[in-house]
């Protein structure tokens, strides 16, 4: 099988959400000597991006994306053993989290996975994150972007606090918000730089635009 076919098989395994097929295809590609980084970018991540595109077209739903992401993680675990500390080339760095009070993490996790697939170095602070922590982490890793996802509108104040703190601190990171409790209007109102929509692929596109990776 050619490298192109091997990578195609990995992408297909992700699209069909099969953990075992993803592992088998990834092993085969590794044994055939395909560059581990290429397995990630042109195989695993490309497969997840394909699932994301289908999600936008409403041919797949969050449940499918989660299952595809599980397959991706299984493949990635095999590749990482071979990478042994070799860092990929990241196009931009992002700090992610849900603001203090919001414990819902599916959306944020999916955005994180798709951002990784899209070439971002992702620092995921998890859920229920104090506003100050976003700023401290962004400064520490010289982030290009802070991404926050919100389901509970009651926590909008905390999101706004992050925006205010970021401005006051003068950090370079731009702020992207998304999730059901946000909107264009919310972004304008609280001083975020962009609204990343209701779904992860839209958020990743908005992130790329903000850091100059997409038009």
Partner 1 sequence: MNSLERIVAAVKLEKPDRVPVTPLSITRSLRVAGFTTEECLYNPEKMVEGKLAGAGRFEDDAVVAGSDLFVEAECLGSKVRVYEHTPVVVDYFIKDRSDFKKLKMPDPRKDGRMPYVCKEIELLKKKLDNTKIVVPVTGGPFTTASQLYGPEQLLIATFEDPEWVHKLIRFCTDVSLAYWEELIKAGAHAIVALEPFSSNTILSPGQYAEFTAPYLKEMFEFSWSKGVVGVNHTCADTSLIWDQMASVGALALQVDHPVSMRECKEKVGKKICISGNVHPIDYMLYGTPEAVYWKSRSVIEEAGNGSGFVLGSGCDLNPKTPEANILAMVQAAKDTVYNDDLTVSFIRESYARPVDMAA
List of residues contacting partner 1 (CB under 8 A): 17, 58, 60-64, 66-67, 70, 100-101, 103, 105-106, 109, 152-156, 180-183, 185-186, 189, 198-199
Burial class (CB within 10 angstroms; exposed 0-12, middle 13-18, buried 19+) of 23: middle
Q: Find the shortest distance in angstroms from Cβ 84 to partner 1.
A: 29
Cβ-based nearer residue to partner 1, 140 or 184: 184
Q: Find the shortest distance in angstroms from Cβ 113 to partner 1.
A: 12
Cβ-based nearer residue to partner 1, 61 or 90: 61
Cα–Cα distance for residue pair 155/3, rounded to 1 Å? 48
Burial class (CB within 10 angstroms; exposed 0-12, middle 13-18, buried 19+) of 70: middle
Cβ-based nearer residue to partner 1, 39 or 155: 155
Q: Find the shortest distance in angstroms from Cβ 92 to partner 1.
A: 26
The dihedrals phi and psi of 118, each to the nearest 5 degrees, come to -90, 10
Cβ-based nearer residue to partner 1, 80 or 157: 157
For residues 89-102, one letter each, b for 16 or more C-beta atoms within 10 angstroms of the residue's C-beta and e for the rest, the string is eeebbbbbbbbbbb
């Amino acid at each position: 099988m050619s490298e192109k076919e091997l990578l195609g098989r990995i992408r297909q395994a992700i699209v069909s959400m099969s953990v075992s097929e993803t592992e088998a295809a990834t092993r085969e590609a590794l044994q055939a000597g395909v560059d581990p980084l290429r397995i990630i970018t042109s195989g695993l991540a490309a497969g997840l991006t394909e699932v994301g595109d289908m999600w936008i077209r409403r041919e797949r739903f969050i449940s499918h994306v989660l299952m595809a992401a599980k397959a991706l993680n299984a493949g990635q675990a095999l590749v990482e053993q071979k990478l042994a500390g070799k860092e990929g080339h990241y196009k931009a760095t992002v700090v992610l989290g849900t603001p203090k009070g919001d414990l819902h993490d599916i959306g944020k996790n999916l955005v994180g996975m798709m951002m990784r697939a899209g070439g971002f170095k992702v620092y995921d602070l998890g859920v229920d994150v104090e506003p100050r922590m976003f700023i401290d982490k962004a400064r520490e890793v010289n982030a290009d972007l802070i991404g926050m996802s919100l389901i509970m509108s009651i926590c909008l104040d905390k999101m706004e606090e992050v925006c205010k703190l970021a401005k006051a601190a003068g950090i370079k990171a731009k702020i992207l918000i998304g999730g059901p409790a946000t909107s264009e209007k919310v972004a304008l109102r609280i001083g975020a730089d962009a609204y990343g929509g209701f779904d992860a692929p839209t958020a990743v596109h908005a992130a790329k635009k903000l850091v100059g990776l997409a038009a």
